[in-house]
Chain A
Amino acid sequence: MRTPLIVSAAALVAVVGPALPAAAAAPTPSPGAATVTKAGTSFLTATAITAGQPVRVGASTGDYLYWSFTASAGQVHRVSATVSFPKARGGPSVWSVDVFDGLRRRQACTTGAQTPLVDATATSVELGCTLREVRSWADPWSADPLPGTYYVRLAVAELPEADLGLPVDVDLLVSTASDAGSAADDGELQAPLTADNRAGAVLTGEPTPAPVPESDGAGWLPGLGSRWAWTTAGGILAAVAGVVGFGLTRRPRRP
């Protein structure tokens, strides 16, 4: 009786457990984080923020506001924003929050009100976007989220033209919804997807040949990582269990 109870309780925890963070109340800024009062207006001038750092900035309706944050493998980030309207507006509008990776590739939101429609009479609107889990490695041809910079763009997508230029107040918070961490031996990105924002230089001559870089060698041996520890521990456990199993089959000694 007791065992099934424990099993079912464990199953319940396993099912409900992961769902709990998502169901939790609105994300809160990390304690002590300084409020950012700026926003960039393009990818190049995006204001850098960190997860848990609140943003509060005044803007005009129609502005495109950019922020950037850094994500590492195993993390899931959630962007939540509130736009409040101190002045009366002429009609309904659609607001949108878009997230791009370091290569300016559009990122999908798994949940959240990414493009909410807001009535002319509403005084504020909430936007949200939960990103996918950042992978530690992905094929160059895929668009999976990778470690590096992420850009958040907040703007109004549809509105009556007469409402352009009216003041709005924007609150934004990027929070880490979960952080699974990652092991290096599932592939690793050699350089994070961080845009090189320095002005480039046009090369004049043809590039010169260069020596082939030395390979690491030992391709057959997996690199040092947690898998070695897990497998070794598994082997030891198996050996111990084998001895125990062998011992179980022995006749109990007669006194």
Chain B
Amino acid sequence: MINKRRSTAVLLGLLAATALAGPPPASADETTEPAAEPPKVELVLDVSGSMRARDIDGRSRISVAQQAFNEVVDALPEETELGIRVLGATYRGKDKKQGCLDTQQIVPVGPVDRTQAKAAVATLRPTGFTPVGLALRSAAQDLGTGTTARRIVLITDGEDTCAPPDPCDVARELAARGTRLVVDTLGLAPDAKVRRQLLCIAGATGGTYTAAESAEELTGRIKQLVDRAKDTYTATPTVVDGTAGCVDAPLLSPGVYTDREEFSTHRWYRVPVRPGQELRASVSIALDRPVRPDHGVLLRATTGDGRELVRGVDAGSGRTDVISAGLRWSDAEGSPAPKPSEGTLVEPDIVCLVVSNSFAPRAGTEARPGMPVELTVGVVDASPAPAGPGLGRGWLLLAVLTVAGLLTGLVAGLLTRWWVATWREN
């Protein structure tokens, strides 16, 4: 009797729970807090002597760039803060030391005064050297530090004439700083050397490279990059410093983190996971420098004493931007330890996550700073394994039951007839 009542109550409760559960919870994307900062972009334009060359649709490179800048300034999204920096614009002399310091910000990063910005661009005349590295460093300073991503759009037609510092090293060094910085590069009628240099700068910061051979291409691309800054600048992970062992590893809450990992090293992190919860983690390692073609990444979850729980792995060959792996883990039901009763306090499990890579540097590839690692951590309710249902489903089930019923009826009927017949006879 009691059992019956209880099961009725359970049924009713289940019914109510199903009705109340309603639609699934909103995804995490919607809860992103609005960023306090506006998107910040700086255009860095090469105004060195080579920009005089008239090889883009019969016009000089600088006039094409000036036209593109005017159109970009006109079409600038309202909230975007834009700055413009030039390099090689003023020094006419032959002294390399002097010429390699020649970079100025002609429009400060901030809400843009369109007329003023256009006037500043219109006065530019191709002049001096090409100190790309210094210009990048200064542009990073112009953009300042903060929690959101900054974007530099570098437009040049010639390779750096002022190395050292090598602009590619500068880009990698800037990217490894706390503030996220992306350098997109545009080559104006580029040759092989310029292309290689710009590819290196773009690759080191997670940016893109474009070869522009017409005014239309240049304008379209700069507009696209400035728009992209508006759409994506808030996606910035927290910087974390993984350790070489689990004991003193940083304790992470759900979210996205970024770190750096050198060749053949391990980075450890810890995540608290309560009973009844599931850990989800994924990691991406970016190939920001030339490495040998074959590569791999391994993400493992271990207990505090080093026993492996689960691993995620991926490997690849050839050209790629990132290589990623992910894993899920939850405490299996029916673990040997006795289940604590409801309401008692229990310590969460501390799960260690370790990221390792199998990249091989090419000859001359710098090992430091390490390659960018992006780690996402999620802790959600565990999804228990469905119990053997005990109930059936499907047309075949109906058919089997019906045939079985029919046969049973037939047999029962025949038996009854036989029994009645024998009973009558006796």
Which A positions have Cβ atoms within 8 angstroms of B? Answer: 38, 40-45, 47-48, 58, 60, 62-64, 70, 100-101, 103-106, 137, 139-141, 149, 155-158, 161-162, 164-167, 183, 185-204, 206-207, 209-215, 217-219, 221-224, 226-228, 230-231, 233-235, 237-251
Check B29 against A237 for contact (C-beta < 8 Å).
no
Stretch at the interface among B73-81, B88-96, B157-165, B384-392: B384-392
Q: How large is the interface on B (under 10, 10 to 19, 20 to 34, 35 or more residues)?
A: 35 or more
Chain A residues in 8 Å Cβ range of B220: 58
Check A245 against B410 for contact (C-beta < 8 Å).
yes
Interface membership of B364, Cβ < 8 A? no
Mask, B367-383, CB within 8 Å of A = 1, is 00000001011101111
Please list 8 pairs of residues, one from A and one from B, whose beta carbons are closer than 8 Å in the complex, sorted by A's number. A190-B278, A196-B254, A200-B253, A207-B251, A207-B350, A212-B342, A214-B343, A245-B410
Chain A residues in 8 Å Cβ range of B274: 210, 213
- Given the known inter-chain contacts A60-B209, A189-B383, A231-B397, please indicate yes or no for A103 contacting B328, CB distance below 8 A: yes
Check B32 against A198 for contact (C-beta < 8 Å).
yes
Complex CA distance for A105 and B297, rounded to whole angstroms: 11
Complex CA distance for A193 and B417, rounded to whole angstroms: 62
Interface membership of B101, Cβ < 8 A? no
Residue in contact with B195 in the complex, picked from A48, A141, A165, A217, CB distance below 8 Å = A165
Query: Within the complex, what minimum Cβ distance (angstroms) separates B328 from chain A?
Result: 4
Residue in contact with A242 in the complex, picked from B253, B387, B412, CB distance below 8 Å = B412
Residue in contact with B391 in the complex, picked from A161, A197, A222, CB distance below 8 Å = A222
Check A103 against B25 for contact (C-beta < 8 Å).
no
Secondary structure at chain B's binding surface: helix, strand, loop or mixed? mixed
Query: Within the complex, what minimum Cβ distance (angstroms) separates B158 from chain A?
Result: 15
Complex CA distance for A191 and B228, rounded to whole angstroms: 30
Stretch at the interface among B7-15, B64-72, B166-174: B7-15
Check A140 against B310 for contact (C-beta < 8 Å).
yes
Complex CA distance for A167 and B211, rounded to whole angstroms: 8
Interface residues of B in 273-325 (CB under 8 A from A): 274-276, 278, 280-284, 310, 312, 314, 318-322, 324-325
Interface membership of B120, Cβ < 8 A? no
Check B312 against A105 for contact (C-beta < 8 Å).
yes
